[in-house]
Chains A and B, each alone.
Chain A
């Protein structure tokens, strides 16, 4: 647990934790509002967003790619809403139509342009590359106090930490509004709370989290981070405050155990190479969800437990 850990494992674990928490926080509300699948739609349209950003700017740079992905997410949300209202189509189908079409357009544009020599490919966007985000110049724990060494930390770490903090702050600021608008939209409107604006803001926050996190953990694993920790937390408690705290605990644990299992797990089976850390994070979060589904104190619907006992 010395130099090597700080060099190769500390930053990926931290980035994993921040990504997981940034996704889990909006995920809590998406699950309660039955909009969990919007995270699926957002994560699929990240690819076309990045491709378009690359075409427009011609460079692989972080900021344009993030802007492109965020723009694609907003376009997708608007299209979904338009199809829902104009076509009178249920939300799930509207999402399915929009994100598959946009994803196909992304793949098409990607194939049309000569991007084979640059560092965007579909697999990378789908799977992420947490392992490559290492702090190469670190020489041990004391490097944490060395400004020159700190400057060479991967950009993703600072970006993810800022996004995570911003989402957390926004959640605290709008806490009361979010809570009321999530559980009783009509009541929220009667109180003068801009419920639909809160709903849209929540989706935007989810989009920002997904876009910031996809680079590290991949766009599909993001879905697991949005849904599994909050869903597991939902089965642990009836109070929203406690649910959010539980979801942060589950998200953190998924990130840490996921990374450790991916990096060191294969060695226990005397294999030499590590497996995908992002995939392992999703797997661990799924294990937590299964455990809470089996043993969570609040796993049943109200009234269902009595029914089960009677049978």
Chain B
């Protein structure tokens, strides 16, 4: 445990600290920038973008070598990957706009074909100058541990730019993500905003490509926004929560991987993010699974309580075990099913409310009020005391339970 805490506190050496900080920055930027792709229901476009970088990497290497330079120049490789990924984005957009193919088919086609071209180019490179291409395979799975100071600087600059643009243009992007027709009616150029959203993802992909690899950068763009969505209903907050989740999982993941041998950084970061996702899905308030279960149980209890009291009021026997237990726990019935004093009182109240509602429906033609009858909303929440008094006057005096 100690090495992990050391790594977490940046005490595990220069390189580990550098990796943790760089990965944390990248995670934050990826989480924040991936948000709108997820809200636009296009999360998998990031997958296509990531795979579409491969031919660019290969082609850039070939061109740089053909021009007599060093094929492994990182700036050149990243430029190539950006160009080919942008081409992929444009092709997806073009196919969806110009043909009747659905978006998922366009995304999948670009992903598979670009990766295929990339593999062809990699085999070309293998044959043209053996040994020198060794670095290119790291684009598939990344090489986080080998991060240099300049890599961290590149991430810091690229990441903050992407986050800044995300923050700056959050309004048009939110609008397009939730209701593109309305956005178009408001005068926004939906196509341009869509391209911008994809461009942000592209920027993050290219920045992080060398570090986590093209398969795992997709995870950093998709998982944090999905996890963040559980915690809030506001798009503006999803961005920051998603960034925080991405940053935290990358930082913790990097620390974990530095604390023991044989723990590759990229996969550990992704699995940390996946763990945060699972926790979010299960335990988030309101949208989480546990919250939904509790909500359901409460609703169930209210329905059973009401049905039980109505049965008491009508002097019907209760055979449902759960209802009996529920009423007994509140002291409304004795274990043999006979109502107690307070049980009779509550039952009479519920039965009377039920008759009040009947009157209310006769008196009020306003469906907006009487439509709120669902059996569980207390009548006092819908009508004023005066109105209820009026219903009672029409009903006549209260009658004891069982005397109907």
Contacts and interface: CB of A to CB of B under 8 A. Distances in A.
Contacts of A126: 119, 140
Given A97-B222, A100-B219, A126-B119, 5 more contacts: A36-B108, A100-B270, A224-B111, A231-B109, A298-B100
A92 B112 contact: no
B388 interface: no
A293 B99 contact: yes
B140 A122 contact: yes
Interface stretch (B11-19, B259-267, B315-323, B376-384): B259-267
Given A93-B222, A111-B264, A286-B113, A39 B44 contact: no
Contact of B108 (A103, A223, A272, A304): A223
A34 B102 contact: yes
13 contacts: A31-B102, A31-B105, A35-B104, A40-B111, A44-B215, A126-B119, A220-B111, A224-B108, A224-B111, A227-B109, A227-B112, A231-B109, A235-B100
A39 B230 CA distance: 27
Interface string A207-245: 000000000001011111111100100110000000000
A225 B108 CA distance: 10
Interface string A91-102: 011111100110
A227 B218 CA distance: 20
Interface of B: 38, 41-44, 46-47, 51, 95, 98-102, 104-105, 107-109, 111-120, 122-124, 127, 137, 140-141, 215-216, 218-219, 222-223, 225-226, 229-230, 262-264, 266-268, 270-271, 273-274, 277, 281, 287, 289
Interface stretch (A60-68, A82-90, A175-183): A82-90
A124 to B, nearest CB: 12
Contact of A286 (B44, B116, B127): B116
Between B105, B225, B226, B277, the greatest number of chain A beta carbons within 10 A of the residue's beta carbon is seen for B105
The 9 closest A-B pairs by CB, nearest first: A282-B116, A224-B112, A286-B113, A279-B119, A100-B219, A104-B270, A96-B222, A223-B112, A104-B267
Contacts, number: 225
Contacts of A112: 262-263
A183 to B, nearest CB: 14
A276 interface: yes
Given A96-B47, A101-B271, A220-B116, A108 B263 contact: yes
Given A92-B43, A93-B38, A276 B120 contact: yes
Contacts of B115: 220-221, 223-224, 279, 282
Nearest to A35: B104
A300 interface: yes
A37 interface: yes
A283 B116 contact: yes
A100 B30 CA distance: 15
Nearest to B127: A273
B268 A293 contact: no
B264 A96 contact: no
B100 A300 contact: yes
Contact of B287 (A88, A220, A223, A302): A88
A119 interface: no
Contact of A228 (B41, B47, B112, B117): B112
Between A87, A271, A300, the greatest number of chain B beta carbons within 10 A of the residue's beta carbon is seen for A87
A92 B216 contact: no
Given A231-B109, A282-B115, A282-B116, A293 B98 contact: yes
A220 B140 CA distance: 12
Contact of B137 (A31, A123, A266): A123
Between B116, B222, B226, B267, the greatest number of chain A beta carbons within 10 A of the residue's beta carbon is seen for B116
A273 B123 CA distance: 9
A224 B274 contact: no
Given A37-B107, A276-B119, A298-B100, A96 B112 contact: no
Nearest to A298: B100
Contacts of A193: none
Given A40-B44, A111-B264, A279-B119, A101 B289 contact: no
Contacts of B44: 37, 40, 92-93, 95-96
A228 B43 CA distance: 20
B137 A92 contact: no
A280 B120 contact: yes
B95 to A, nearest CB: 6
Contacts of B102: 31, 34, 36
Given A37-B44, A220-B51, A300 B99 contact: yes
